[in-house]
Chain A
Amino acid sequence: AQTVTQSQPEMSVQEAETVTLSCTYDTSESDYYLFWYKQPPSRQMILVIRQEAYKQQNATENRFSVNFQKAAKSFSLKISDSQLGDAAMYFCAYRRLRNNAGNMLTFGGGTRLMVKP
């Protein structure tokens, strides 16, 4: 079974600075998807960024980028120029490649990000 681990329960960053959230996972498969979701106090899960394991290039979305290290099974999220609105819980998630039973997301325990003005 796949597992996802987020070793940082809480992180803090100064507004406009850069912060990196860590995620490691365990799988025996070679092809899969990785995601970072943001969950503000409203509870709504919002997709931040996704990475296909077969792609060597790290995904980027504006201020958000990932460092995907497939051999190390590591998938960290970097947030540049942090804004107050970035404060939320961040969840790393894994998903199998196959489009059949087993399409669910496996989530890590989350990291609470606080942004200081």
Chain B
Amino acid sequence: DAGVIQSPRHEVTEMGQEVTLRCKPISGHNSLFWYRQTMMRGLELLIYFNNNVPIDDSGMPEDRFSAKMPNASFSTLKIQPSEPRDSAVYFCASSGTGGDTQYFGPGTRLTVL
């Protein structure tokens, strides 16, 4: 079985540009999570969806960040405009019905110059 798929794996962009990160959760999982990991702040939950509906976006740092889940097999995290302080590894994770175990994707390493 394929695990959580994220693309791109690496992204280098310039300040002010729009960045879109993509995630395909494990088939059959109904919860999806976006995390950001940095040395300074550790692993932070940005937003999570249940059955494609955003449940809690209190971790989204500011209005420059937005996330969508148009269907059960796809989600995006968009940063517009990007800033150097957004540089981090962004993980997507999914979990199944009634389950707490989260399965993480390989992450997207974002560098904003």
The reply to whether chain A is a binding partner of chain B is no
B residues in contact (CB < 8 Å) with A: none
A residues in contact (CB < 8 Å) with B: none
